[in-house]
């Protein structure tokens, strides 16, 4: 435990933290930031891990990161190592990355390719569906291999997005309805024919909720994001009451083109607190994608796309992802909690799989704007976290016109935790 965690520790037991969490969430005013313990107490963080990250659907990556049989990537969800692998049928499976012998991690690399899953410790060998194939003669004749397969996590894919759930049961929700829409809205991008161009992993000394809160509003954009504001519009969606007439005219021109091309753009949202959202937003007039100058990031457009002016299709998945789908590249974002006061933000840029680095795209140019934006957001999140540690911190009011996205996030969080605490 680091010094901050010690100083922020208020509860002796997890039960005390659960009771306090339920009370805080029940009594919280919807339009105020949360009480400090929910942002920095290590025991409260444990409640978040148990009730949110170990029970709910999480975004982990894209199917095109593991295009072929045996391709895998690993991800750490709190203290839970997880392995996502493509099997011989082309299905994507998620397993707890912990050997059924004595528990070693089985796959050690961030990503890789294997014929079978072989534990490095004593070479127990599993097939790509997690069945234990081989444990050596050392285990004796009575040893039952069929009882020692890798433990599965729930895994669903739609439109190229991979979601996993570590819970004992699948959460009951309208998640499938979102997945069906995601599949339809992502069809033009043909994710299976894309490839990862570049990725970044950023460590931010802020609670995961502060990272998401920051992303859910653009109140801070004018003060912090000059590069992003070359192309992005600060409105949340095309119905945003703040949007002026010239934006609406621009949107209607584009929407007519999108309709003619069969590009879906009607807003969709699902679940409490708009847990999942799909919104196609135009970018600033005259710009194509979120590069520094608004010009193309890649010469090859994605999938069946012909019009470079598709704006950005923003896809939200609470608790841990936001995304920007554009005509020539798309950007996915994943947040993973590390401790009460630290998170990891992974950003990945994808292009058409036939695009050639150096000819069709330059990774440095692709990542420039969001590298700058992520770093600016990191500093905002870290300063937010530090201020919340003050004995003088008290929950402050959100702007209903600029921070309704934050309020929606906390509504989903609060509903979900309260519901799961009762189970």
| Binding residue for Fe ion, selected from 48, 213, 217, 377, defined by CB under 5 A | 377
* Shortest distance in whole angstroms from residue 215 CB to Fe ion: 6
- Reported in sequence order, the residue ranges of 47-151 that DSSP labels E, i.e. its strands, are 58-62, 71-77, 80-86, 92-96, 111-113, 117-118, 125-126, 132-134
5: CB partners within 8 A, 6+ apart: 42, 339, 340, 341
Q: For Fe ion, which stretch binds (CB under 5 A), given 72-80, 229-237, 337-345, 374-382? A: 374-382
Instruction: Kindly tell me which of 145 and 386 has the beta carbon lying closer to ligand FES.
Output: 145
* Residues written for the chain: 423
Instruction: Kindly tell me which of 55 and 274 has the beta carbon lying closer to ligand 3BY.
Output: 274
Instruction: Kindly tell me which of 62 and 380 has the beta carbon lying closer to Fe ion.
Output: 380
Residue 418 contacts residue 272 (beta carbons within 8 Å): no
How far apart are the C-alpha atoms of 112 and 208, rounded to whole Å?
Answer: 28
Q: Is the peptide bond before 74 cis (omega within 30 degrees of 0)?
A: no
Residue 104 in contact with ligand FES, rule: CB under 6 A: yes
* Shortest distance in whole angstroms from residue 123 CB to ligand FES: 6
Residue 236 in contact with Fe ion, rule: CB under 5 A: no
Size of interface with ligand FES, in residues (CB under 6 A): 9
Show the binding pattern over residues 121-160: x = contacts ligand FES (CB under 6 A), - = does not.
xx-x------------------------------------
Residue 105 in contact with ligand FES, rule: CB under 6 A: no
Cβ burial, residue 130 (10 Å; 0-12/13-18/19+): buried
Residue with smallest beta-carbon separation from ligand 3BY: 218
* Shortest distance in whole angstroms from residue 322 CB to ligand 3BY: 5
* Shortest distance in whole angstroms from residue 218 CB to ligand 3BY: 4
Instruction: Kindly tell me which of 48 and 213 has the beta carbon lying closer to ligand 3BY.
Output: 213
Among residues 347, 343, 363, 367, which one has the least CA distance to residue 355?
363
Residues that bind ligand 3BY (CB under 6 A): 215, 218, 221, 232, 322
- Reported in sequence order, the residue ranges of 187-319 that DSSP labels E, i.e. its strands, are 194-204, 268-270, 276-281, 312-317
* Shortest distance in whole angstroms from residue 107 CB to ligand FES: 11
SS3 146: helix
Q: For ligand FES, which stretch binds (CB under 6 A), given 4-12, 73-81, 100-108, 173-181? A: 100-108
Instruction: Kindly tell me which of 232 and 263 has the beta carbon lying closer to ligand 3BY.
Output: 232
Show the binding pattern over residues 80-99: x = contacts ligand FES (CB under 6 A), - = does not.
-------------------x
* Shortest distance in whole angstroms from residue 405 CB to ligand 3BY: 8
Quote the crossing angle between the two packed helices 363-388 and 208-215, to the nearest 10°. 120
How far apart are the C-alpha atoms of 231 and 310, rounded to whole Å?
Answer: 13
* Shortest distance in whole angstroms from residue 335 CB to ligand 3BY: 12
Task: Work out whether strand 321-325 and strand 312-317 pair parallel, antiparallel, or are unpaired.
Answer: antiparallel
Among residues 90, 55, 97, which one has the least CA distance to residue 75?
97
Residue 107 in contact with ligand FES, rule: CB under 6 A: no
Residue 334 contacts residue 345 (beta carbons within 8 Å): yes
The structure tokens listed for 256 are: 């007519």
Residue 403 in contact with Fe ion, rule: CB under 5 A: no
Q: How far is CA 365 from the centre of its chain?
A: 23
Instruction: Kindly tell me which of 194 and 215 has the beta carbon lying closer to ligand 3BY.
Output: 215
- Reported in sequence order, the residue ranges of 261-411 that DSSP labels E, i.e. its strands, are 268-270, 276-281, 312-317, 321-325, 330-339, 342-352
What residue 322 binds from ligand 3BY, ligand FES, Fe ion, none (CB within 5 to 8 A, per partner kind)?
Answer: ligand 3BY
Instruction: Kindly tell me which of 98 and 408 has the beta carbon lying closer to ligand FES.
Output: 98
Instruction: Kindly tell me which of 322 and 413 has the beta carbon lying closer to ligand 3BY.
Output: 322
The structure tokens listed for 164 are: 């996993």
Buried b (16+ CB within 10 A) or exposed e, 44-63: bbbbbbbbbbbbbbbbbbbb
Which parts of this chain interact with Fe ion (CB under 5 A)?
377
Interface with ligand FES (CB under 6 A): 99, 101-104, 119, 121-122, 124
């Amino acid at each position: 435990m680091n010094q901050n965690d010690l100083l922020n520790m208020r509860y002796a037991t997890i039960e005390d933290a659960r009771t306090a969490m339920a009370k805080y969430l029940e009594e919280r005013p919807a339009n105020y930031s949360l009480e400090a313990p929910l942002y920095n107490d290590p025991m409260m963080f444990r409640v978040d891990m148990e009730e949110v990250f170990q029970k709910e659907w999480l975004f982990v990556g894209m199917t095109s990161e593991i295009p072929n049989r045996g391709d895998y990537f690993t991800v750490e969800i709190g203290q839970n190592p997880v392995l996502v692998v493509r099997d011989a049928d082309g299905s994507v499976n998620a397993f707890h990355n912990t050997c059924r012998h004595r528990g070693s991690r089985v796959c050690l690399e961030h990503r890789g390719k294997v014929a079978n899953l072989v534990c490095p410790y004593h070479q127990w060998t599993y097939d790509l569906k997690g069945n234990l194939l081989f444990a050596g003669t050392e285990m004796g004749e009575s040893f039952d291999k069929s009882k020692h397969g890798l433990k599965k996590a729930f895994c669903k894919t739609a439109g190229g997005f991979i979601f996993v759930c570590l819970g004992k049961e699948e959460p009951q929700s309208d998640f499938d309805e979102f997945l069906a829409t995601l599949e339809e809205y992502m069809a033009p991008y043909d994710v299976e024919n894309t490839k990862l161009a570049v990725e970044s992993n950023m460590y931010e000394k802020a609670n995961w909720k502060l990272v998401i809160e920051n992303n859910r509003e653009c109140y801070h954009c004018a003060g912090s994001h000059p590069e992003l504001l070359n192309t992005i519009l600060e409105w949340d969606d095309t119905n945003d009451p703040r949007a002026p007439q010239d934006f609406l005219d621009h949107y209607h021109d584009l929407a007519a083109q999108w309709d003619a091309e069969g590009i879906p753009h009607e807003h969709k949202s699902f679940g409490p607190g708009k847990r999942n959202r799909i919104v196609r937003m135009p970018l600033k007039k005259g710009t194509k994608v979120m590069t520094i100058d608004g010009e193309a990031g890649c010469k090859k457009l994605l999938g069946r796309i012909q019009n470079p002016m598709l704006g950005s299709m923003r896809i939200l998945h609470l608790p841990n992802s936001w995304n920007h789908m554009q005509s020539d590249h798309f950007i996915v974002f994943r947040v993973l909690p590390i401790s009460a006061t630290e998170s990891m933000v992974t950003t990945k840029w994808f292009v058409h799989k036939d695009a050639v680095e150096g000819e069709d795209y330059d990774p440095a140019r692709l990542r420039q704007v969001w590298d700058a934006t992520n770093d600016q957001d990191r500093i905002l999140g870290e300063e937010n976290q530090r201020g919340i540690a003050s004995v003088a911190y008290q929950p402050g009011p959100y702007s209903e016109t600029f921070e309704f996205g934050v309020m929606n996030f906390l509504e989903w969080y609060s509903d979900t935790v309260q519901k799961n605490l009762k189970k």
